[in-house]
Amino acid sequence: MIEPRTQLALYRTMLTIRVFEQRVAREFRTGEIPGFVHMYIGQEAVAAGVCASLGDADYVTSTHRGHGHCVAKGCDLGRMMAEIYGREDGLCKGRGGSMHIADCSRGMLGANAIVGGGIALATGAGLASSVRGSGETAVAFFGDGAANQGVLHESLNLAAIWKLPVVYVCENNGFAESTPSSYATSVPDVAMRAAAYGIPGVVADGSDVLEVYAAARTAVERARAGAGPTLLEVKTHRFMGHFEGDPDRYRDDDERRATRERDAIAGLHDRLLASGHATEDELEAIRAEIEAAVSKAVDFARASPLPDPAEVDRYVYPELLAQSATAW
């Protein structure tokens, strides 16, 4: 039985992601946000359920669809929004934007525009934790498209033989951009591939955040105990196109409708009411609080200055290398 307070915390996290993303989509259409944004709407149960099992010191690596992971890991909403706006007060001082948000103080090692780009990074974080004996667990989030990248299989093998504290989370939303996973993946479940490495392969329903949380907690506990990695596949759905503005013509209306009917947020909302763990007024108060926080984040982002063009070469590798050389 998952405690009522944990269920409410999961609901709050999912709703924060949803409201944040809806506002980002709205602001993007005004033309104020540069570049592209990829909405996490519909997949909230994955980030919320997995990250609820982690501590502040634990690590996550993310994807181009990374806002939800940042929120679930506790990144500041104002500095997140400022980063998406490309402003100096952003988490990466406006240099990363939507697809490269990072906050090492929260264990968020970064969103990543490279397909599968975060998988080896999380494996390295797990290796560092193992060598230090410091007890952190690392989580690699990736999509069904990245599940067919060689780096995943190399990382799974390495993590398995060294029993690294890593949880590999495949967010299988059914499409790699517009390519159905059923076309590009040789097995019905990505989790089946775990058998080749002698590790657990677990499938969870992304429309049920409590199921995701339970599966993630078991995987994290296994990692912390020194038993090695888990491949956790969460069957989920994105409600939007691949990116904001994608016409999403590769899915028919019936499929889109069916996807939205399995909304994890609505499901937990109804469960909380039915169980008596919350009232409608309490849940509405949570929504109002979140909406106010997101509006405040937008105001913070808009008030933040743009980076100074004269500092275009700051915070990049050659400068950091020179600083390191000077320090030595």
Give per-residue pLDDT as tens, 152-161. Answer: 999 999 999 9
Digit-coded pLDDT (tens) for 66-88: 999 999 999 999 999 999 999 99
Note the pLDDT of residue 256: 82
What proportions of the chain, in percent to the nearest 5, are helix, strand and coil? Answer: 50, 10, 40
Residue 169 inside a domain? The answer is yes
Is residue 311 domain-resident?
no
CA dist., res. 17 & res. 247, Å (int) = 22
What's the DSSP call for residue 98?
A: G
In a domain, 244, yes or no: yes
- Residue 39: C-alpha distances to residues 61, 99, 298 (Å): 17, 11, 17
pLDDT for res 123: 98
Answer yes or no: is 313 within a domain: no
Q: Which residue, 312, 172, 188, is CA-closest to 235?
A: 172
Burial of 81 (0-12, 13-18, 19+ CB in 10 A): buried
Residue 43's pLDDT is what? Answer: 98
Tell me whether residue 315 is in a domain.
Answer: no
Q: 310 lies in a domain?
A: no
| Residue-averaged pLDDT of the chain | 95
Confidence of residue 9 (pLDDT cuts 50, 70, 90): very high
| CATH number where 190 lies | 3.40.50.970
Indicate the number of domains in the chain: 1
Say how far apart CA 249 and CA 71 lie, in whole Å: 29
Q: How many angstroms separate the Cα of 294 from the Cα of each of 17, 76, 95, 284?
A: 10, 10, 21, 15
Whether the CB-CB separation of 14 and 48 falls below 8 Å is answered with yes
pLDDT confidence of 328, banded at 50, 70, 90?
Answer: low
Residue 148 lies in a domain: yes
The contacts of residue 314 (CB under 8 Å, 6+ apart) are none
Residue 317 pLDDT exceeds 80: no
- Is 232 domain-assigned? yes
Structural domain containing residue 73: 4-303
Amino acid 37: pLDDT: 97
pLDDT digits (tens, 9 = 90+) for 224-261: 999 999 999 999 999 988 989 888 888 888 888 888 88
